[in-house]
Amino acid sequence: MIHGHAEDFRDDLSRKIILSHKEKELDDSEKEIGSSASFGMQDVLIPSEADYNTIYTRHYLKSLLPEISESDRNILQNGKITSYNVGTILIKKGESVDTLYLIINGLVEMINTVETRNSILSSGSLIGPIYAIENSNALQTYRTASYVEILEIPKEIFLFIIKRNQIEDKVKRLSINRSFLRKSRILGFTSSCHMINKIAEQMKIIQLKKGSRLSDYKKTGIILLKTGRISLYKKKHFVEDVKVGRALSFESLFDNVKSVFTERVEENSEIYLIPFELLQDIPIIHWKFLRVYNHRIRISEEESD
């Protein structure tokens, strides 16, 4: 794979040369030297006889359903593996869901015209468990955002396995948690599927009455607003109403960031509490938290002027 000038590799004896990071179409001289590749294309550089799809699906199913036995995972893993090109619709909004999709490789976009932006599902994500459990139609459209490989799990088999293991309620709860996290501006687009699963497992939902104090919760974790209304103040100056899905109390993640804001629960609300230690070693999330913090500081300074 070439990142420099194509002419430097005219006499290169490699069997295949790919010219990458090219904004424009290749000219005739470049076409003589190397190949090009469109986004989402896959190629084999070093052939292998290992069945990586089996390895990946076993790992993903263990992460999603750690309680079930290996024999039950084998039953789920026995489904058909299918490849889809970019732009293929897997499930349309409003359709019944008879098959669950486990993403082995690639990206799938969750499209919902009601939301301000769509969520992206990556390798290890399972599409459709909540629809299977509730026997409901899809609330959004699922469309491939790249070339993908997917394990197809029949709905009846999935329901049989989770009911036999008595984990129906837990699978439903985690599916709801994952869906909420993927819509978060800070966590949804920057966390791997493995991290989303880990957070979804440990996050707790807390009911707050109007006028409740958040001081005890702020000591233990990040707060995400699920429903209701919470306002931020700096001293007596109003800063903002925190939107659903936005974060509070992340200052304790940093040694050099002071907590200067106070919160007011303006109406009965629900929050998710995520333990600090889960996010301790994820730099990109720290960077996003700092951006939010600095933005709120700027607003508070403007208001006080």
Q: What is the CATH number for 139? A: 2.60.120.10
In this structure, are 93 and 129 located in the same domain? Answer: yes
Residues 139 and 218 in one domain: no
In a domain, 138, yes or no: yes
- Residues (pLDDT < 70) of the chain are 1-2, 21-23, 37-45, 48-49, 115-117, 189-190, 303-305
Provide the domain count of the chain.
3
Rounded Cα gap, residues 251 and 218, in angstroms? 9
The reply to whether 197 falls in a domain is no
57 and 23 in a common domain: no
Question: Rounded to whole angstroms, how far apart are CA atoms 140 and 131?
Answer: 11
CA distance 170 to 176: 10
- The residue out of 149, 167, 185 marking a domain boundary is 167
Say if residues 60 and 101 touch (Cβ distance below 8 Å). Answer: no
Q: Are residues 226 and 152 in the same domain?
A: no
CB 133 within 8 A of CB 159: yes
Domain housing 109: 52-167
Q: Which of 145, 167, 189 is the last residue of a domain?
A: 167
Residue 151 shares a structural domain with residue 229: no
Same domain? For 145 and 207 the reply is: no
Does residue 147 sit in the same domain as residue 91?
Answer: yes
* pTM, rounded to two decimals: 0.76
